[in-house]
Structure 1
Amino acid sequence: MGKQAIRVLAADFGAGSGRVVRGSYDGAKLELQEVHRFANDPVQLGADLYWDFLRLYHELKEGIAKGARSVSGIHSMAVDTWGVDFGLVDGTGRLLRNPRHYRDASNKAWMQEAVRLVSERELYRMSGVLPHQINSVFQLFGRAREHAGHLGSDTRMMFMPDLFHYYLSGVQSCEYTIASTSGLLQAGRSQWNEPLLHRLGLPETLFPEVVPSGTILGGLSGDLRKELQTGPIQVVAAGSHDTASAVAAIPATGSDHAFISCGTWSLMGMEMDKPVLNDTARDLGFTNEGTVDGRIRLLKNRSGLWLLQECKRQWEREGRSFSHEELVQLAATSTPHLCYVSLADEAFMAPGNMPERIRKQCEASRQTVPATVGAVVRCIIESLALEFRQTLEELERVTGVEPRVIHMVGGGVHNRLLCQLTANAAGIPVIAGPAEATSAGNCMVQLMAQGEFAHLGEIREVMKVSFSPQTYEPQEMAQWQEAYGTYQRLNMQT
Structure 2
Amino acid sequence: MKKVLAFDMGATSIRGILAYIEDGKFCTKEVMRMAHKIQKREGRLYWDWESLAGKIEETILENQDVSCIGIDTWGVDFGLIDKEGNLLQAPHCYRDEKFSEGREEAKALMEEFELFQNSGNQIMTINTVYQLLALKNLEAEVYEKADKLLMIPDLLFYLLTGEKIGEESIWSTTGLYDLSKKAVSDHLFSKLQLRKELVPKIVRAGEWKGNTKNARLERLRSLSIDVIPVCGHDTASALLMTERDAENPSLFLSCGTWSLIGTSVEKALVSKEAYERNLTNELSYQSETLFFKNITGLYLLEKYKEELEGRLGRKIAFSEITAFVQKDAEPESLLDMDAEVFGREGIKVKQEIDAYLLAKGGQPPKDDFSYFTLIYASMVEKYREVKEDIESILGKTFSKLQMIGGGARSEYLAEKIAKNLRLKVKAGPYESSALGNILLLLQKEGEIGSLEEGRRLIYEASEIREYSF
Question: TM-score scaled by structure 2?
Answer: 0.90
Query: What is the match of residue 61 of structure 2?
Result: 65
Distance 1:149 1:170 in 2: 21
Q: Quick check: 235-244 or 46-55, which moved more?
A: 46-55
Query: What is the match of residue 325 of structure 1?
Result: 319
Q: Return the letter of the residue paired with 2:415.
A: Q
Q: Deviations over 1:453-492 (max 9, x none)?
A: 5655444333322314111011xxxxxxxxxxxxxxxxxx
* Mapped pair 1:136 → 2:128: yes
The structure-2 alpha-carbon separation of the partners of 1:8 and 1:341, relative to structure 1 and needing over 3 Å to count, comes to same
Contact 2:278 2:293 in 1 (8 A): yes
Of residues 195, 210, 217, the one that matches 1:203 is: 195
Distance 2:173 2:28 in 1: 27
Of residues 415, 434, 438, the one that matches 2:433 is: 438
* Mapped pair 1:42 → 2:35: no
Query: What is the match of residue 258 of structure 2?
Result: 265
The structure-2 alpha-carbon separation of the partners of 1:451 and 1:410, relative to structure 1 and needing over 3 Å to count, comes to same
Unpaired runs of 5+ residues, structure 1, are 475-494
Contact 1:293 1:456 in 2 (8 A): no
Q: Deviations over 1:413-440 (max 9, x none)?
A: 1211100110001111110001101111
Distance 2:283 2:377 in 1: 31
Q: Quick check: 167-176 or 378-387, which moved more?
A: 378-387
> Helix, strand or coil for the counterpart of 1:221?
helix
Distance 1:329 1:439 in 2: 30
> Helix, strand or coil for the counterpart of 2:387?
helix
Distance 2:220 2:443 in 1: 26
The structure-2 alpha-carbon separation of the partners of 1:249 and 1:27, relative to structure 1 and needing over 3 Å to count, comes to farther
The structure-2 alpha-carbon separation of the partners of 1:230 and 1:423, relative to structure 1 and needing over 3 Å to count, comes to farther
* Mapped pair 1:237 → 2:233: no
Query: What is the match of residue 478 of structure 1?
Result: none
Unpaired runs of 5+ residues, structure 2, are none
Contact 2:95 2:126 in 1 (8 A): yes
Distance 1:374 1:139 in 2: 36
> Helix, strand or coil for the counterpart of 2:70?
strand
Q: Quick check: 346-355 or 458-467, which moved more?
A: 346-355
Q: Deviations over 1:320-341 (max 9, x none)?
A: 5420012102222334x35341
Contact 2:19 2:27 in 1 (8 A): yes
Distance 1:365 1:219 in 2: 56
The structure-2 alpha-carbon separation of the partners of 1:10 and 1:113, relative to structure 1 and needing over 3 Å to count, comes to same
- Cα drift, residue 278 of structure 1: 0.4
Query: What is the match of residue 106 of structure 2?
Result: 114
Identity, % of aligned positions: 29
Distance 1:445 1:455 in 2: 9
- Cα drift, residue 58 of structure 1: 0.7
Q: Return the letter of the residue paired with 2:160.
A: L
Distance 1:119 1:264 in 2: 30
Distance 2:95 2:347 in 1: 18
Contact 1:216 1:234 in 2 (8 A): no
Contact 1:341 1:361 in 2 (8 A): no
> Helix, strand or coil for the counterpart of 1:471?
strand
- Cα drift, residue 122 of structure 1: 0.9
Distance 2:349 2:413 in 1: 19
Query: What is the match of residue 384 of structure 1?
Result: 379
Aligned residue pairs: how many? 464
> Helix, strand or coil for the counterpart of 2:209?
strand
Distance 1:156 1:330 in 2: 50
How much is the aligned-residue C-alpha RMSD, in angstroms? 2.8
Contact 1:284 1:394 in 2 (8 A): yes
Question: TM-score scaled by structure 1?
Answer: 0.85
- Cα drift, residue 363 of structure 1: 7.2
Query: What is the match of residue 18 of structure 1?
Result: 14
Q: Quick check: 341-350 or 43-52, which moved more?
A: 341-350
Distance 1:388 1:420 in 2: 13
The structure-2 alpha-carbon separation of the partners of 1:221 and 1:328, relative to structure 1 and needing over 3 Å to count, comes to same
Q: Return the letter of the residue paired with 2:26.
A: L
Distance 1:369 1:199 in 2: 45
Of residues 464, 469, 472, the one that matches 2:467 is: 472
Map 1:424-435 onto structure 2 (within 5 A): 424-435=419-430
- Cα drift, residue 346 of structure 1: 5.6
- Cα drift, residue 306 of structure 1: 3.0
Contact 2:335 2:375 in 1 (8 A): no
